Chains A and B, each alone.
Chain A
């Protein structure tokens, strides 16, 4: 199976996990990695830099209508929703917060799922609210692969448990198994 993109959602307790995943992916990773992580509204800089420290793949905070490409990660910018449009482009939005969040994980997952259908891998990590649960269900309903970080491993379980309640996901994986899964796609 060829996938078009992997999308990762996380909130409290997800930073270390995302870092570990990004640090494990090679430059040749054959698809874009979309990151929607809850973050402080008013802190614009520093996050990409922190994630990039040991990452082999470049991490960008895209500008509106930027094109997505393989071997790169795209982080939803502070205080914007990040949508994926049909033409493989990012569209940013300042519409109201969803689940008290902007960026909202649900909105990124739903739009990515509409764009990539069954060629999307959706991953939900540690977090403190239910944002992402509905989005992951959408990925599942459209035939994409769904992965949830093992709640036992999560610093904060709310996000992964909410996702598991709503969807019969394909895999419940520890961070190491998530990485192993992704590396098999190369």
Chain B
């Protein structure tokens, strides 16, 4: 298929804004373009016109659109040293009493890889049932997808290598089952997770959060939207809360930089400044 031009992309953004009130104009252009191109092929649409036609008065398709426009997490336990830090530095030092008030939030969840990684980590520390986990997604489709736990075999291979580097206490194969074409994660690990739908402006997002895991999502936004989202996260975090970004995401050039202190330079761990 031919590449989408800027004019095409603007037209799509304008249509979605007027029909559904979702503004994609501050999404990073190149990745947004790739997602649109992929979505058009996957849904067998005839180019931009096909996509615009399908989006017209079709809320069900728009939900699928919101799922497919988002980028899923890559492999479980990506950056094993971050997961080791979470286990050995963060959770190991929280006492029993504080654990029961420990709220963890995954905004913009698409595929559940990060959520399941954390669930495994907490299970191995025997504290999974003590903390509260909230996972928010843009679409119902993403929530279904996370609950189903389906995962490409290739990703499972890399995840298993990551798990070894994370130095987990079990065997990674205990956490998924295989069928012919896919792996399925052990979703019993996430049975107590609270799933909710968020909109693109993060309205009604949960408060008093101790830990936000938001890795490799900001990269899909332009600085102005990054700024807006970080402000919301600042408000959602409790006074001593942590925000974890991807290892190549930094907020040094944003105004919100002064609201957060970088406490682990290598792993992208920020803490709310008071």
Contacts and interface: CB of A to CB of B under 8 A. Distances in A.
Given A44-B247, A86-B29, A95 B253 contact: no
Contact of A93 (B31, B79, B162): B31
Interface string B55-79: 0000000000000000101100011
Contacts of B253: 65
Contact of A91 (B30, B73, B74, B78): B30
Q: What bracket does the count of chain A residues touching chain B fall in?
A: 20 to 34
A109 interface: no
A64 B74 contact: no
Interface in B119-144: none
A95 B31 contact: yes
A111 interface: yes
B239 interface: no
Interface in A61-105: 61-65, 77, 79-80, 83, 85-86, 91-95, 102
Main secondary structure of the interface of A (DSSP, over half): loop
A42 interface: yes
Most buried by A among B74, B161, B219, B246: B219
Interface string B67-109: 0000101100011100000000000000000000000000000
Nearest to B245: A64
Contacts of A63: 248-250, 252
Nearest to B165: A42
A75 to B, nearest CB: 12
B71 A94 contact: yes
Q: What bracket does the count of chain B residues touching chain A fall in?
A: 20 to 34
A41 interface: yes
Nearest to B154: A97
B71 A95 contact: yes
B29 A79 contact: no
A80 B218 CA distance: 14
A85 B29 contact: yes
Given A44-B247, A64-B218, A65-B253, A83 B223 contact: no
B223 A65 contact: yes
B29 A93 contact: no
B9 interface: no
Interface string A38-59: 0001101000000000000000
A79 B249 contact: no
A80 B80 CA distance: 16
Contact of B73 (A42, A61, A94): A94
6 contacts: A44-B79, A63-B248, A63-B252, A64-B250, A80-B248, A91-B219
Interface of A: 41-42, 44, 61-65, 77, 79-80, 83, 85-86, 91-95, 102, 111, 114
Interface of B: 28-31, 34-35, 71, 73-74, 78-80, 158, 161-162, 165, 216, 218-220, 222-223, 246-250, 252-253
Given A64-B249, A85-B30, A95-B31, 18 more contacts: A42-B161, A42-B162, A62-B248, A63-B248, A63-B249, A64-B218, A64-B219, A65-B223, A83-B31, A85-B28, A91-B30, A91-B219, A92-B219, A92-B249, A93-B34, A93-B220, A94-B74, A94-B246
